[in-house]
Amino acid sequence: MSEEEAFPNSNHLFQQAFAAADPVPHLLQLLKQYPTYLSVRDLVVSYTEAVEEDPSRGQSLASTLARLRDSSDAPTFGTETLSSHINSVLADQHFKVIYGDTEVKEYGPKNTYLLDSLLSGLSLKHDLTSTSDQYAAIDHGLDAPHNSDKSEVLVVGACIQLLLHGSVIVTESAGSYRKEAKVVAKKLKAQEVAGTVKDPHAIRVLEVCDLHQERK
């Protein structure tokens, strides 16, 4: 057993559970057997690793986490709930990494910033957590300077979050980052016109996101 694991083979057992046809019963069993904050931490780590391994499963995996959180059989942790622990762990993860040049050069699953954007967008969509860091990342993309080497990935990261749950940006939940959909669309159009995004696949994401915002 690793000193970092919540219980013996916790990461492996959570990974096995997420691979099941219906992970929720298996995850509940593990959390009931080991009802600690560290168990929830390892649960969330295994979830993010599963999304990283296969981003196409992101939607179903986030839905699994939401169903687990909302289960009537979910254990409690003293005065805390499973929902509050999941919220706390995810809030401590989203956009907490300082990204260097190697993290932003390659598009695709190996781009840690885009992966973080995907995970953040899924958290917003399934109401798993909502933090100022997540909204700030969207703003960084919308207002990214047109001549910076990192601007392209910032814009695409913002688009990923907006495509997953862009409607949240017009609500009170966004706090000081709240803005009208037409303002978001105008900023996206400015990035497109400026040619900030150059990768062909990334351009398509920008175009789809721009059209999506214009329709709101």
- What is the spatial distance between Cα 110 and Cα 103, in angstroms, rounded to a whole number? 8
Residue 216: pLDDT band with limits 50, 70, 90: low
- What is the spatial distance between Cα 199 and Cα 126, in angstroms, rounded to a whole number? 29
pLDDT tens for 69-92 read 999 999 999 999 999 999 999 999
pLDDT tens for 83-125 read 999 999 999 999 987 665 555 556 666 788 999 999 999 999 9
- What is the spatial distance between Cα 120 and Cα 131, in angstroms, rounded to a whole number? 9
- Tell whether the model's pLDDT for residue 215 goes beyond 80: no
Task: Please give the model's pTM, rounded to 2 decimal places.
Answer: 0.91
Q: Give 120-123 contacts, CB < 8 A, sequence gap 24+.
A: 120/94, 120/95, 120/161, 121/160, 121/161, 121/162, 121/163, 121/164, 121/165, 122/51, 122/58, 122/59, 122/61, 122/62, 122/164, 123/62, 123/90, 123/94
Both tokens of residue 83?
Answer: 């929902």
Quick count: other Cβ atoms within 10 Å of Cβ 46? Answer: 22
pLDDT at 100: 59
List the domain boundaries for the chain. 10-91, 101-214
- What is the spatial distance between Cα 21 and Cα 44, in angstroms, rounded to a whole number? 18
For Cα atoms 206, 66, 23, give the angle at the middle one, nearest 5 degrees. Answer: 110
